[in-house]
Every structure is written in structure tokens, then in C-alpha cells.
A = this chain, B = another copy of it.
Amino acid sequence: MTTITIADDSPFGLDNLPYGVFSTPGSARRVGVRVGDVVVDLARALDDEVFARPSLNEFMAQGYDRWVAVRERIRDLLHGEVDDDVVHPIGEVTMHLPIEVADYVDFYASEQHATNLGRLFRPDSEPLLPNWKHLPVGYHGRAGTVVVSGTDIMRPCGQRKSPDEDVPSFGESRRLDIEAELGFVVGTGSALGTSVSCGDFARHVFGAVLVNDWSARDIQAWEYVPLGPFLGKSFATSISPWVVPMPALQTARTETPRQEPRPLPYLREEQAWGLDIELVVEWNGQEVSRPPYRDMYWSPAQMLAHLTANGASSRTGDLFASGTISGAEKHQRGAFIELTWGGREPIEINGEERTFLRDGDEVTISATAPGPGEARIGFGEVRGRIVAATNTAG
């Protein structure tokens, strides 16, 4: 038997308890919870087969009351001694995609990001389109290419046409970018023909992850009218391995920025689900940005209410992301296209002038939120390295 010790300043203390899917050499994937610098094997520690699965989906589908009860059981367990064989040092496990992604939706909820991209993509018109302050604009992305942090990202190929070219050509993206986002995981879905109100958010959404929505800006710019982004985004979306349960973010709740005009009734919140989470973006180990989630115009509860307002069903494993998180200051922008203003204002990375991603570059996004008292709630990180394209024949 052993007692798990947690450093006082650990971002993975008893107020966090994020879930993930891990494996050890020779063993199958299964669900664990992270505490300090160890992973606790939940199937063994709680003697419950629902955690002996390669994704969180089966546990999430058991619903809100079970999520609350299991969180309490884990806390009780960690206050005492646990069997040695249920504890694995974080350095000795491999982390996997924590959920089986059902549908993936990406929103566009940062006013600063939408304004910046409007200026860059449509320089001759109003940056913010007329619908933007009335509804959380979003679109469906590719669920099958959501990958776990650490997965190499192959530079995508595709059609791109610069304004000075007459015809498009096929080849490697020359403007490969990141988008620093937060993602929300639906634990229990809603039936076709029903909607999830803002007030029901916590009963449906299990937790949050970090998202890097890799974006090929040249492919996107050429393809995206009139039906939206497609191949410019669909090649890969990375998520962090740890799903932070929504109750761990209770202390981080805050008001959203003032919403004017006042949203329609189905988008009004009695208690706002704004979140005071600070992200850090590192490019080859150098910090380039600190996007503040608290500045996001639309809350995740408003996103889910909108997503289901037409009666669309939701399912266990649905993932919806916030869209790029950008604040008002330059060092708060969550995409390189904004940080370098379309590539026209390079930034210095380790002594070099840089705009978009080169092969071999690595990007790491991490985040923390305030917990009770002095505690910080850690999200861990989402990390990815760019590797050269191999399917370049056009």
C-alpha cells in the first residue's frame, strides 16, 4: 500500500482530478485519473469495469450523477492508502486519445479573433459580419482526424492560389498555422427534436480539453467560400490527453464580456459560463502568446444551446471547441496569422524571423485556471511537431 503525495503547488491536486486514457508496456488502454505526478488506474482502484475501456465514452454515458459520485469516491480513495499496483508514475505511461469523438464542431467565439481574421481575409469589408453578435458562429469539422497531443502533424498538401497567381497549384501548405482553443466534451447527449438550455449545460458537458486546430491558411483562403473551411482544417486537430471535469472549473467561472445587443432568450444565461483560463502558447520552446479565455464573447453553455436550438441531437463523445482564443493585446493572440498579421510582421523565435510553421517546428499549448484558495487547476498541454509531407504528388 502507498500514500500518494501531492506537492502543494501541483496543478493536479484533489480539486482537479482530470481523466485520461493511458497504457503501460504490454497492457491495454484504460481510464486513469491524474493526481500530482502519477496516474491512478481506475478500473483497479475502484474495481469497476467501465474504466477498463479504451475511451471515456462508456463512463461519460452513465450521466451526471455518476460523474459526481465517482469524483467523490476518487477523493475518498486518495485520502487514504492505495494499492501500489494501481499507481503509475506519469513518465512511465503512454497517453491516448481520451474520447471516441462523435461529432466535432468548431465555434468562432472570440470577438478579437473574428475581427482580426475578418480584416485579414476580407480587407475590403466590415471585419465582423452582421450575424456575429447574434449567434455563436460555428461549423462542423472532421471527427476522424482528432488526434492526441504528441502525435506528429504532417504538413498538408492542397490547392492554394495567391492573389497574384492566375490559377491554383497543388502542393504543400506554405502558411501552416495553429489555433489555440478550448474544447468541451459532451458526456450525455440530447435526443433529436430537443434542445439543451444554457442552464442544463453542466448536466450534459463532462469536461474540457485544450485544442490545437491546425490550419493551412493558404488552402483555407482559396477553398472556404461559400461553404466554409474544409481541407484547410480537416488534416488534423490535436487535443490534450487530460479531460478536466467541469466541477474542477467551478472557481474559474466568470462573467462573459458584456453582450450587446442582448442575445435572444435561448442564449441568455442566469449564471454565466465564462471561464477565467489562461493559455500559454510556445513555439519551439519560446513563449509567443498568452490567450485569455475570459475574454471570449460566447460561453460554452451558449455554444451548446445554439448547437441544439434547431433540434439537432447531441451524443456522448461530441466535441465542440471555442475557436481561436485571442485577447485585445498582441501577445494574447492565439494564431500565428494574427501574431504576424498575415505573415507581414514576422516575430523572432530563438533569434530567427518567423511567420508560419516550418517542418520540425513544435508547438505546445498549456493552460491553468484558478482553483479553490491558492490552488491552480492544470490542463497539462497539447503538443505537436510538424513533419514533412509525403503525399505531395498533385
Interface residues of A (CB under 8 A from B): 102-103, 105, 108, 118, 121-122, 129, 131, 134-135, 137-145, 147, 154, 156-159, 161, 167-170, 189, 192-195, 216, 219, 222-232, 234-236, 261, 264-266, 306-307, 309-315, 318, 389-391, 393-394
Q: Given A135-B159, A158-B310 in contact, is the A224-B226 Cβ separation under 8 Å?
A: yes
Known: A139-B230, A193-B390, A224-B226. 15 other contacts (CB 8 A): A103-B143, A103-B144, A122-B226, A134-B159, A134-B161, A138-B230, A144-B313, A145-B192, A154-B311, A158-B309, A167-B261, A169-B264, A170-B266, A232-B310, A234-B310
Pair B394/A194 contact, Cβ less than 8 Å: no
User: CB-CB < 8 A to A393: which residues of B?
Assistant: 265-266
User: CB-CB < 8 A to A318: which residues of B?
Assistant: 144
User: CB-CB < 8 A to A167: which residues of B?
Assistant: 134, 261
Compute how far the CA of A143 lies from the CA of B105 in the bound complex, rounded to whole angstroms: 11
Q: Which of B131, B135, B145 contacts A313 (CB 8 A)?
A: B145
Pair A265/B170 contact, Cβ less than 8 Å: yes
Residue of B at shortest CB range from A156?
B310
User: CB-CB < 8 A to A122: which residues of B?
Assistant: 226
A165 nearest CB across to chain B (Å): 11
Residue of B at shortest CB range from A225?
B129
Q: Which of B141, B216, B264, B307 contacts A159 (CB 8 A)?
A: B264
Residue of B at shortest CB range from A117?
B226
A334 nearest CB across to chain B (Å): 17
Closest 6 CB pairs of A and B: A228-B228, A156-B310, A140-B140, A139-B227, A227-B228, A231-B310
Pair A310/B219 contact, Cβ less than 8 Å: yes
Compute how far the CA of A307 lies from the CA of B159 in the bound complex, rounded to whole angstroms: 12
- Which of A134, A318, A390 has the most chain B CB within a 10 Å cutoff? A134
Pair B192/A147 contact, Cβ less than 8 Å: yes
Q: Given A154-B192, A391-B193, A394-B264 in contact, is the A235-B139 Cβ separation under 8 Å?
A: no
Residue of B at shortest CB range from A154?
B193
Residue of B at shortest CB range from A134?
B168
Pair B141/A140 contact, Cβ less than 8 Å: yes
Compute how far the CA of A227 lies from the CA of B227 in the bound complex, rounded to whole angstroms: 7
User: CB-CB < 8 A to A147: which residues of B?
Assistant: 192
User: CB-CB < 8 A to A154: which residues of B?
Assistant: 192-193, 311
Pair B103/A139 contact, Cβ less than 8 Å: no
User: CB-CB < 8 A to A313: which residues of B?
Assistant: 144-145
Pair B391/A195 contact, Cβ less than 8 Å: yes
Compute how far the CA of A142 lies from the CA of B190 in the bound complex, rounded to whole angstroms: 14
Pair B310/A131 contact, Cβ less than 8 Å: no
A162 nearest CB across to chain B (Å): 13
Residue of B at shortest CB range from A114?
B226
Q: Which of B121, B222, B229, B315 contacts A131 (CB 8 A)?
A: B222
Residue of B at shortest CB range from A314?
B144
